[in-house]
């Protein structure tokens, strides 16, 4: 994480006592809080940026005790430096969240204080809403009849993946992590999905999704073992997510869909269309694997926006 930078005159931004504390914090995130590896890496980069700034601010490598002497003005100076470097509000807010996580961890044994961080508000950021596809467009994306002129088994594979994203609300990584032995075989099957942070959830599978996967397996020219990936690339190896994204881009162009029609938009469409048809918000949270209900509540805003747009377009006095 935070180490010497290779150069003729290496710059040490943290003393050994602080480096050891940071490593303990990283293990805490990974093993006790069970955060995803990419989240731990992102938080680690945020802390490295802060310590690098602080070392320049103090004129010497940062000691563990220095974190107990942090003032509000130091934090504001860091935020200003990130803004001057071109970082946006969302990036800055996430960056300060990573540093706060470290400080909260160290606060437990009295080696840091989180009061200055609690006194500083991260920059306000405009909340971006998910961009779901209209139901008709989503249905065409998951229809083999609209698949592009590819090898039949590859077209069936892409359709099966899109069907999982839209019909079950999976992320691309979750769909591609499925093993062949986990493929649903009948209309009453369910999938046990391990999502972000190792959080498990049970997702029911629609008959149309089961049929799409069965069609793919029937046409697939490869027959690997049960522990092999369910979805394979053209050469029979593990399928790269970029292949799925490129397939969606080609389909998007062929169907005349907007740039926002991405594989992840199918997951957004799953949640939005469920909610629009009377789905329970708490149930949708469970299906999506969101740790917090507030994350799922964003879809209520999407549905309200669609309702108001329809009102403005149709009401004679609008």
Catalytic residue, chosen from 26, 180, 201, 290, is 290
Catalytic residue among 171, 180, 201, 268: 171
Q: Give 191's Cβ-side CA count (13 Å radius).
A: 32
Radius of gyration of the chain (CA): 24
CA distances from 244 to 165, 207, 222, 229 (A): 11, 22, 19, 15
Residues counted in the chain: 318
Q: Quick count: other Cβ atoms within 10 Å of Cβ 275? A: 19
Query: Has 57 been annotated as catalytic?
Result: no
Q: In the annotation, is 171 catalytic?
A: yes
Planar angle of CA 286, 40, 230, nearest 5 degrees: 55
Catalytic residue among 201, 252, 267, 268: 267
H-assigned helices in 144-238? 152-168, 172-176, 207-219
Count H helices, E strands: the chain? 14, 2
Q: Report the C-alpha gap between 65 and 84 in whole angstroms.
A: 28
CA-based angle 149:240:94, to the nearest 5? 125
Q: Which of 264, 268, 306, 317 is catalytic?
A: 264
Q: 187 phi and psi, to 5 degrees?
A: -70, -15
Q: Is 31 a catalytic residue?
A: no
Catalytic residue numbers read: 171, 196, 264, 267, 290, 299
């Amino acid at each position: 994480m935070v180490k010497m930078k290779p150069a003729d005159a290496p710059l040490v931004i943290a003393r050994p006592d602080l480096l050891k504390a940071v490593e303990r914090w990283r293990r805490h995130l990974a093993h006790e809080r069970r955060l995803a590896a990419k989240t731990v890496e992102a938080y680690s980069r945020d802390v490295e940026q802060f310590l690098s700034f602080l070392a320049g601010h103090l004129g010497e490598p940062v000691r563990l005790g220095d974190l107990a002497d942090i003032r509000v003005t130091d934090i504001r100076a860091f935020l200003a430096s990130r803004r001057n470097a071109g970082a946006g509000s969302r990036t800055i807010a996430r960056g300060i969240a990573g540093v706060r996580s470290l400080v909260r961890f160290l606060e437990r044994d009295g080696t840091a204080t989180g009061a200055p961080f609690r006194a500083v508000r991260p920059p306000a950021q405009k909340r971006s809403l998910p961009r779901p596809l209209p139901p008709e467009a989503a249905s065409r994306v998951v229809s083999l009849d609209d698949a592009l002129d590819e090898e039949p088994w590859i077209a069936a594979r892409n359709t099966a993946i899109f069907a999982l994203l839209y019909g079950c609300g999976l992320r691309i990584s979750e769909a591609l992590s499925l093993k062949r032995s986990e493929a649903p075989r009948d209309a009453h099957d369910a999938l046990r999905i391990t999502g972000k942070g190792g959080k498990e959830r049970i997702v029911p599978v629609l008959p149309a999704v089961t049929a799409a996967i069965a069609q793919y397996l029937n046409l697939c020219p490869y027959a690997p073992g049960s522990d092999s990936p369910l979805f394979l690339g053209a050469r029979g190896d593990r399928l790269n997510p970029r292949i799925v994204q490129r397939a969606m881009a080609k389909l998007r162009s062929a169907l005349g869909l907007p740039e926002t029609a991405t594989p992840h938009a199918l997951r957004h469409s799953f949640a939005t269309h469920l909610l629009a048809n009377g789905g329970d918000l708490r149930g949708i949270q469970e299906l999506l694997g969101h740790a917090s209900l507030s994350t799922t509540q964003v879809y209520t805003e999407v549905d309200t926006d669609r309702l108001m747009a329809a009102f403005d377009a149709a009401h004679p006095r609008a």
